[in-house]
Amino acid sequence: MVRRRLFLATAMGAIGLSRTGTAHAAGQRQSSQPAEPLVWPLVGDEQPGIRTFAGHADTVLDVVGRIGTPPSLVIYTEGNHLMVLLSKDIVGAFPAWAKTQPQYAHLRLENVVVVTMPQPMVVQMIRTGAVALGNLTLDLSRASGLFPDIVMGGPAPQRELHKLGVVEPQARYFSRNRGRALLVRRGNPLGIHSLADVASTGARLAQADSVEPTRESATAPQSKR
């Protein structure tokens, strides 16, 4: 019995080394080919009407906060606002500021949930009451606790939400476009100070398209009646 086990272990080890060597050689031959992304399959079909993200490794990063803990404040906005809104100067400083205000001092603000999706997706999520992240579906209805307290976006999506009857009729502007500006590489090595400099230096220019909103506003959803 001992000899048979020893023989099997030796034989299997040899087979394993042979396969490993073959796989390594094959890997070396294919190393120049780009690896295909690994996409986890959906269980069943997509749910009709619900925005579904499949194969996006960083999708969950668009929902910031703790799921499962009752949220203190829920904000729906877009990715362009992410770095500023979630900075230490705004959301980071908000709980401490609220405690200094008598009318807000009693509020618990330990769990601020921020959803940062493109604005058309925000409208769709509010309309359908859900979003699917692969095989995980988040309930975003009023009963879920993840329904927004504040919706931040441009005039067009705000008008759509108003037609759905889910936001207050009056919005507050929190940012305005002051005109185009040039953002250059650190140190401005090409000495660019105007559009004429861009043309004369042959620099590459990237800009937003014509549908980029010029003003951003925030509304609060209407109270449930």
In tens, the pLDDT along 173-196 reads 888 777 778 888 889 999 999 888
- In a domain, residue 196? The reply is no
Does this model's pTM top 0.85? My answer is: no
Tell me: pLDDT of 12 over 50: no
Mean pLDDT of the 109-125 span: 90
Can you name the residues that pair with 131 across neighbouring β-strands? Answer: 138
- In a domain, residue 3? The reply is no
Give percent of the chain above pLDDT 90. Answer: 27
- In a domain, residue 69? The reply is yes
- In a domain, residue 111? The reply is yes
Q: How far apart are CA 124 and CA 20, in angstroms?
A: 49
Angle between helix axes 119-128 and 155-163 (nearest 10 degrees) is: 10
Which residue reads 């509304």 in tokens?
Answer: 219
Specify the number of domains making up the chain.
1
- In a domain, residue 21? The reply is no
Residue 37: the pLDDT is 61
Mean pLDDT of the 204-218 span: 69
Q: How confident is the model at residue 28 (pLDDT cuts 50, 70, 90)?
A: low
Q: Region of 80 please: left (phi>0), alpha (psi -120 to 50) or beta.
A: alpha
* H helix or E strand, kind and range, residue 25: helix 2-30
- In a domain, residue 27? The reply is no
- In a domain, residue 17? The reply is no
- In a domain, residue 83? The reply is yes
The SS3 of residue 51 is: coil
Q: How far apart are CA 17 and CA 81, in angstroms?
A: 53
Phi then psi dihedrals of residue 175, to 5 deg: -155, 150
CB 114 within 8 A of CB 188: no
Question: Given strand 215-219, what is the order of strands in its sheet?
Answer: 63-64, 112-116, 73-77, 150-153, 215-219, 172-176
Range of the domain at 110: 52-179+211-219
CATH number at residue 167: 3.40.190
Rounded to 5°, angle at Cα 99 from 94 and 103: 105
